Copies of this chain bind each other. A is one copy, B any other.
Amino acid sequence: MSLIVQKFGGSSVSDAEGIKRVARRIIDTKAAGNDVVVVVSAMGDTTDDLLDLAAQLTTNAPAREMDMLLSAGERISMALLAMAIDELGEQAASFTGSQAGLITDASHGMARIMEVSPQRVHRAIERGYIAIVAGFQGMSKETKNITTMGRGGSDTTAVALAAALDADVCEIYTDVDGIYTADPRVVSSAQKIEKISSEEMLEMAASGSKILHLRCVEYARRFGVPLHVRSSFSTHEGTWVIPDPDDKITIQEGEPMEQPIISGVAHDHSEAKVTVIGVPDIPGKAAQIFGVIAAAQANIDMIVQNISTQGSGKTDISFTLPMTEGKRVLDALNTAKGEIGFEELEYNEEVGKLSLVGAGMRSNPGVSFTFFEALHQAGINVDMISTSEIRISVVTDADKLNDAVRAIHTAFNLDAEVEATVYGGTGR
């Protein structure tokens, strides 16, 4: 008998029909001989409705009360889901984050999980119940207040429970049927990935792939939880995200365990580029700039320092950051302009980021050449470059990004017609 943790998002339980469909899905899993723990998000529009109500009262709600308010959403969806399961003849019990032992720090709205003590969940499944747990919420160890976890919180709840309960798999149900080699809306020949390592998935998520949140993948990787990302509308296998490429976890007997060179192409339209022009080329200036940005609580992504123009004693520093943080950072830098001594700021939201991810590129030196040659052939200018051991990212003009994604997808033989050559050992 396996223990399976299943996570259903708000779009899967947006109305009574959705809740019934999810209930049947859960019961099928139980009927196949598994213990089932379910993590559920708030119904479709509930969170937006609650935020609208709050906005009618204040533009500056205390974070503690906002968490209390939003936590009501999962109470509703989880109780309704338990009722739907009961109606279909199985026993179910719902648990709030605090009842399920999800203990967090006290950072309202973006709480981090500190420990998981799911004794009540454990007892429920021992008694033959299906346990339904509220996603996204927990209780602060320090203040005993109710907290919410922010973006990706429900996925992270599911993974944390799976780790604490030593579940065999954590299934993340979504409205697509898995992770693709590129966004199918951009690359029509994109293929579903059958299996990807946590490490690669981490790079994909960090590079803009929206299906799994970075945080959930990090957690799964750290605690060795296999993820199965699949559609709540079909029973097809989705994409397995395997914690360690060297792990002996076998999805299907006889399946080759080689790593493909390239897992996929991610892209991201949500970043902006800032260039600080005419920075005095003396030690400590970069640290000063990034100190100002850190004080503004902004997250920067890629950084490029240009070579100092001969004899000018000045240099330019460019970086990318989420568009939503652009104004805050510009304001902070302008305030510190005299102190830092730069000449001017350039700000550009018309940029896009493309990332090629694959564990196989470690041992395949030709990858960079193929990558830049493909961009060159497609007439795409590269503005910034950053790399990790298993990722190459570039910034291009926003209107060239989709062309770039397609060119790279084709260059690495990721297109569906040539599926067989994607996997490792081909030398590409």
Contact = CB atoms under 8 A, between A and B. Distances in A.
B62 A99 contact: no
A53 B81 CA distance: 11
A72 B69 contact: no
A65 B53 contact: no
Interface stretch (A83-91, A218-226, A337-345): A83-91
Given A16-B56, A53-B16, A61 B86 contact: yes
B80 A54 contact: yes
A300 interface: no
Given A56-B16, A86-B61, A87-B60, A76 B80 contact: no
Contact of A68 (B19, B68, B71, B75): B75
Contacts of A66: 79, 83
A330 to B, nearest CB: 30
A32 interface: no
Interface residues of A, number: 38
Q: Looking at chain A's contact residues, is the secondary structure mostly helix, strand, loop, or mixed?
A: helix
Copies in the complex: 2
A82 B249 CA distance: 50
Contacts of A71: 75
A186 to B, nearest CB: 38
A71 B84 CA distance: 18
B84 A64 contact: no
Contacts of A54: 79-80, 83
Interface string A45-73: 00000100110111011101110110111
Given A19-B57, A69-B76, 20 more contacts: A16-B57, A54-B79, A57-B83, A57-B87, A58-B86, A61-B86, A62-B83, A62-B92, A64-B93, A65-B80, A65-B82, A65-B92, A68-B78, A68-B94, A68-B96, A71-B75, A72-B76, A72-B79, A75-B75, A99-B144
Interface of A: 16, 19-20, 50, 53-54, 56-58, 60-62, 64-66, 68-69, 71-73, 75-76, 78-80, 82-84, 86-87, 92-94, 96, 99, 120, 144, 146
